[in-house]
Amino acid sequence: MLTRSALIYLSRQEGLKNFATRFSPFKKLTTRFIAGETTAEAVAAIRDINARGCSASFDHLNESVSNVAATEDEVREYLHLLDLIDQTGINSNVSIKLTQFGLEIDPELAYRNARQIVEESKRRNNFVRVDMEGSNVTQVTIDIFKRLRSEFELNDVGIVLQSYLYRTEQDARDLLKIPARIRLCKGAYDEPAEVAYPDKKDVDANYVRVMQLLLSSGTYHGIATHDPKMIDATVDFVQREGIPKSAFEFQMLYGIRRDLQEQLARDGWGMRVYVPYGKHWYPYFMRRLAERPANIWFVMKNFLKG
């Protein structure tokens, strides 16, 4: 059986990526987790999500972009998305990755590219979430976010923290002082024990600790998880503390626990669905398989069915 680490390793293999993204039968299997390859498909998915009482966050899939011109294409795509959100009236903000904007070429380039998106988003009264990637870029991502946050306001730009990292509780305390809007997730990359809790029970315990810290702060945060235990711990905590439902939102990924998304929205909780789309779906798709290797059987079954 393929392990989580092996799947994450495969997610970084260029040869497999090139094969998988060109092999059309394989592409069809991604539809459970990816809203499509085009913006039109992603908009249609968001309309459906909005109709189910949830808001959305667009993610144009791409990461580790290694040439400057391609980072500029990413900026154009996001400027177009922000325009499209206004034109169509869908309820969505945008999520970006700094390696998509050139972080691995030059952090200054990633900052300048991200700044263009935040500026345009602010002009349109929208919001930009800076996703968090592998631990090799955690510090530089936080540094760029802080720089953006010093130029823009609380409701213009936010960041993500991952409960599997030892450093996260301290990062949360520091960022809350600014203050900053934080999305809390468990973390999707393969991290060594030097930087991240190897045991799920510790990742979960840290998730609950940081969730309580965030939701006690009075700032609007995103609690991103499909884990019913984390959701129950959040609901118990806010009810005990008298924190209103409107003070934060739950967030989940497109195609995962749709039943729970709808249930929480019906019960009056804020629910935002992260909607990835685009041609560069391979690493994102492989991380979703890694989170739940049972998904491989789901994918294989559909492949064999044709």
Ligand X SMILES: Cc1cc2nc3c(=O)[nH]c(=O)nc-3n(C[C@H](O)[C@H](O)[C@H](O)COP(=O)(O)OP(=O)(O)OC[C@H]3O[C@@H](n4cnc5c(N)ncnc54)[C@H](O)[C@@H]3O)c2cc1C
Residues found near ligand X in the complex (CB under 6 A): 131-132, 160, 162, 185-189, 224-227, 230, 251-253, 256-257, 274, 288, 291-292, 295
> Cα angle at 297 between 187 and 32, to 5 degrees?
60
In the complex, the smallest distance separating the C-beta of residue 268 from ligand X, rounded to whole angstroms, is 19
d(CA 108, CA 262): 41
Nearest of 179, 71, 84 to residue 124 by alpha carbon: 84
157, β-bridge pairs: 128
Nearer to ligand X among residue 85 and residue 224 (C-beta): 224
Nearest CA to 174 among 224, 223, 210? Answer: 210
Q: Is the CB of 5 or the CB of 242 nearer to ligand X?
A: 5
Triad 293, 200, 262: Cα angle to 5°: 65
Residue number, 47 or 257, with CB nearest to ligand X: 257
Tell me if 122 sits within 8 A of 156, measured CB to CB.
yes
* Min CB(12)–ligand X separation in Å: 14
Question: Of the two residues 49 and 67, which places its CB atom closer to ligand X in the complex?
Answer: 49
Least separation in angstroms between CB 159 and ligand X: 9
Q: Which residues pair with 14 in a beta bridge?
A: none
* 92, β-bridge pairs: 56
Ordered alpha helix ranges (H), 185-281: 200-215, 228-241, 258-266
Minimum CB separation of residue 242 from ligand X in Å reads: 25
Pick the closest to residue 274 from 229, 221, 225, 211 (CA basis): 225
131 is catalytic: yes
Catalytic member of 59, 129, 131, 190: 131
Question: Which residue, 226 or 245, is less far from ligand X as judged by CB?
Answer: 226
Q: Alpha-carbon torsion 258, 260, 263, 267, what sign? A: negative
Burial classification of residue 139, based on how many CB atoms lie within 10 Å of its CB (0-12 exposed, 13-18 middle, 19 or more buried):
exposed
Distance CA 222, CA 183 (A): 4
Q: Is 171 a catalytic residue?
A: no
Annotated active-site residue in 115, 149, 181, 183: 183
In angstroms, give the least distance from the CB of 260 to ligand X.
Answer: 9
> Which of 111, 250 has the CB closer to ligand X?
250
Q: Letter for the amino acid at 91?
A: N
Give min distance, CB of 122 to ligand X, in A.
21
Active-site residues, by number, are 131, 183
